[in-house]
Amino acid sequence: MNKFSWYEAKSVEDALGKVNATVSEILAKNGNQTSAIFKAGGVDLLDLMKEGLVRPGMVIGIKNIPGLDKIDYDAKTGLRIGANVSLSEMESNDRIRDQYQALFQAVSHAGTPQIRNSATLGGNLAQRTRCWYFRSIDHDCYRKGSGTCFAQEGENEFHAVMDNQPCASVHSSSVATALLAFNAKVEILSSDGKKREVKMEDFFVHPSKDSRTENILKANEMITAVTVPAAGENIKSYYIKQGARESHDWALADVAVVAEMSGTRCKKAEIALGAASPVPVKAKAAADSLAGKEINEASAVNAGEIAMKNATPLANNGYKVPLFKTIIKRAILKTV
């Protein structure tokens, strides 16, 4: 790891006055030593630094900025989760557990208790892919701007099975899968004082649009919160993550289903998939197939088939297609 200076930011404005880089920008400038970058929990940033991928000159500690660590709820506007709220604080929040079950399940299955104690929501959304070619300093891969995705012909068992050209990496946030199904928005503040709210589905950037960056954040911007619409009484949700093992691992496949129910009949639904594509995606046609239907084995199986209809698995990840079909079916059946 390189030597760097440490700056403990006192406020959002203070932090935004110092920051001048994102991970993608540092990668573009070969680990530029003049860059100053945010560290929240540090789980991902310090890994990237230890891996030698980023070598910032200054690390700006934002974890202790007052006001970014709150979870608020309003019956009209819904849930507002500050960017510095840790995954374990989300896990122990009664409202998230009772009204946003899929989000609770996603958070409580991320990493390990120790990781969840450090990891913040903002850092979780801005973390970089765990694709082993991206994480290897010896591979100048597509996500680093080279034009070559080594996973296409190489070791691709954990990689994307949909929209996997020109890069087959998957985004590592399983929390985003649940937030996407709940139609959450990301609140972003820029150093010029402008605030914008971006839909979760517009926050992540597919490699076909920009090879280097995985989200829309610019160097002078900070995630300040994530908002999730109010969940009415008839909203039922369920999240399933399948990893190679039960804990301490990222998802091989994960799914969140959020459904407005009337008894066993679904009025409308959202289905989001993680580790399927380079970005968390909605399975819109599959979700639409449930609208107005009884939730039962047949409708749940059918939705899984529709969700995977356009899958284009690579040589070693074909197993993910039946895996997705199964967890989609199971998550749908859990909404009744």
Ligand X SMILES: Cc1cc2nc3c(=O)[nH]c(=O)nc-3n(C[C@H](O)[C@H](O)[C@H](O)COP(=O)(O)OP(=O)(O)OC[C@H]3O[C@@H](n4cnc5c(N)ncnc54)[C@H](O)[C@@H]3O)c2cc1C
- Contact residues for ligand X, defined by CB under 6 A: 23, 37-45, 83, 110-111, 115, 118-120, 122-124, 126-127, 172-175, 217, 222-223, 248-251
* 72 membership: H or E segment, kind and range: strand 71-74
Nearer to ligand X, 86 or 99 (CB): 86
What is the Cα–Cα distance from 9 to 150, expressed in whole angstroms?
39
Nearer CB in complex with ligand X: 88/237: 88
List the 5-8 sheet strands across, edge first: 5-8, 58-61, 36-39
Q: How far apart are CA 61 and CA 10, in angstroms?
A: 9
Sign of CA pseudo-dihedral 123, 128, 131, 135: negative
- Answer whether 102's CB lies under 8 Å from 184's CB: no
**125 or 314, CB closer to ligand X?**
125
Residue closer to ligand X, measured from CB, 79 or 121 = 121
Q: How far is the CB of 41 from ligand X (least distance, A)?
A: 3
- Which residue's CB is nearer to ligand X, number 222 or number 295? 222
In the complex, the smallest distance separating the C-beta of residue 42 from ligand X, rounded to whole angstroms, is: 5
Q: Which is nearer to ligand X, 250 or 306 (CB)?
A: 250
User: Smallest gap, in angstroms, from Cβ of residue 117 to ligand X?
Assistant: 10
Query: What 8-state DSSP symbol labels residue 144?
Result: G
Which residue number is nearest to ligand X in terms of Cβ? Answer: 123
| Structure tokens given for 249 | 């691992």
Shortest gap between Cβ of 297 and ligand X (angstroms)? 29
Shortest distance in whole angstroms from residue 68 CB to ligand X? 7
Cβ 14 to ligand X shortest distance, Å:
14
SS3 assignment, position 272: strand
Q: Please give the backbone phi and psi of residue 250, each rounded to the nearest 5 degrees, phi first.
A: -80, 170
HSE-CB at 158 with a 13 A cutoff on CA atoms is 16
Cα Dmax for the chain? 60
What is the C-alpha separation between 287 and 220, in angstroms, rounded?
36
